[in-house]
Amino acid sequence: MIFLTDFLRADIVDINQQRAGTVKDLIVRMREPYPIVTAFAIRGGKHLPRTIDWGAVRAGENNELSLNVPTTALREYPRASSETWLSRDILDRQIVDTDGRRVVRVNDLQLQVVNGSLVLIGVDIGTRGLLRRLGLESTGRRLTRVFHRNFPHKIISWDVVDPVRSDQSSVKLRISHRKLGKMHPADIAEIVSQLGSTDRAAIIQGLDAETAAETLEETSDEIQAQILATLDDEQTADILEAMSPDEAADFLGDLPEDRREELIAKMEQEEAEDVTELLTYEDNTAGGLMTTEYVSVPSTLTAEETIAEIRLRAPSAESIYYVYVIDEMEHLLGVLSLRDLIVAAQDTPITSLMIERVVAVPTDAEPEDVAAVIAKYNLLAIPVVDEEDRIQGIVTIDDAMDTVMPQGMRRRARLL
């Protein structure tokens, strides 16, 4: 097995067996799935280049890097500043193991010769990698033999890791958090919670707006506020637009009024109007809990027309388990189940399918009462109505339970 540590501080010997210096770092060009070594940095005389093309290397073994040219023929590698330096940019950094869904630290890097090129294939995150860097790996092997213990390598394949930081050096490690972005938002949120404030923001900045929004919705209010406070206004507005209106309103409601207005002004009109409407309700009420993402249809439709309407509007709805029937003034007349709609004849009026006695709560209902009603009637969501019985939004079961469950239980429940 070949590791970065095997090269660092190795003697560099030219084709005439003259010592030119020592290896300072290896330089790679990022590519999928594995980066390729293109150059190395050298510690040597002041007249030598600082970085040298890997093509000048003949062999590397026994703590020595042999060159195929004389020292006088060495030239500066021109792309060193735009490529990634393994020791400087990756070693000791935090990375995300997207298979194990955890944050780990890079203790060493595994390399391998593939088709004549040296490529980066893995990340050593174990104690053995750390001891290797300290020059104590052989001591560790002897001790484990004495005590009849294993001394395993703990290596993660490079193709399942994703760097955490988004600073200038780490931008070269990836274009975006492609691997991380494929994970479930709840898993990304778990990773974000393990990081410091700078790294948390770096993760969110590397995600698309929708994934970032879903991830933030899985975090605590404190982490949400901390992350969004570090982003620029445009990026924050994009994420708020992608969040469910109730989550966005909760965040904005905690901001000073002038800051809140600045962000709302940068949001798209439709999303801004939804959030502004929700901000008019008190926090600890059904109105403060509800979302405006629900499906309602006019009472004049047939079953076939209603199904077509659901197909059109479902992507923007938080819950489509219930379809609410309203009149032209948005008074709540009834509720439909998807099952009844699917099995009904296409030309059946929905007024003959709907349940007329709808369980609903007023906008000023307390969260505990909303949760109790949802639990009593075994509902997935409950409509919220004003004094004139006009539907204003819905409270979903997860939002209702969030208000009455302890923080630790709340997090566990979301993962079930």
**How is residue 321 annotated by DSSP?**
S
Q: Is the pLDDT of residue 362 over 60?
A: yes
Cα 118 to Cα 116: distance, rounded to the nearest angstrom: 7
Check if the beta carbon of residue 127 is closer than 8 Å to that of residue 118: no
Which residue intervals of the chain bear CATH 2.30.30.240? 2-84
Check if the beta carbon of residue 110 is closer than 8 Å to that of residue 123: yes
CA gyration radius for the chain? 30
Q: Provide the pLDDT for residue 314.
A: 66
Cα 161 to Cα 124: distance, rounded to the nearest angstrom: 11
Given pLDDT bands bounded at 50, 70 and 90, which one contains residue 414? Answer: very low
Both structure tokens of 249: 């309103």
Q: Is the pLDDT of residue 168 over 50?
A: no
Q: Is the pLDDT of residue 169 over 60?
A: no
Give the residue-averaged pLDDT of 180-199: 81
Q: Among the listed ranges 49-63, 120-134, 156-170, 276-290, which one has the minimum average pLDDT value?
A: 156-170
Which secondary-structure segment (H or E) carries 361? Answer: strand 361-362
Q: Provide the pLDDT for residue 166.
A: 44
Peptide bond into 33 cis (omega under 30): yes
Residue whose structure tokens are 């990756």: 90
Which residue intervals of the chain bear CATH 1.25.60.10? 181-280
Give the residue-averaged pLDDT of 41-66: 88
Give the residue-averaged pLDDT of 129-145: 78
Task: Please give the CATH topology (third level) of the domain spanning 296-402.
Answer: CBS-domain (3.10.580)
Which residue intervals of the chain bear CATH 3.10.580.10? 296-402
CATH 1.25.40.10 fits 181-280, yes or no: no
Domain spanning 2-84: CATH superfamily: PRC-barrel domain (2.30.30.240)
Give the residue-averaged pLDDT of 258-284: 92
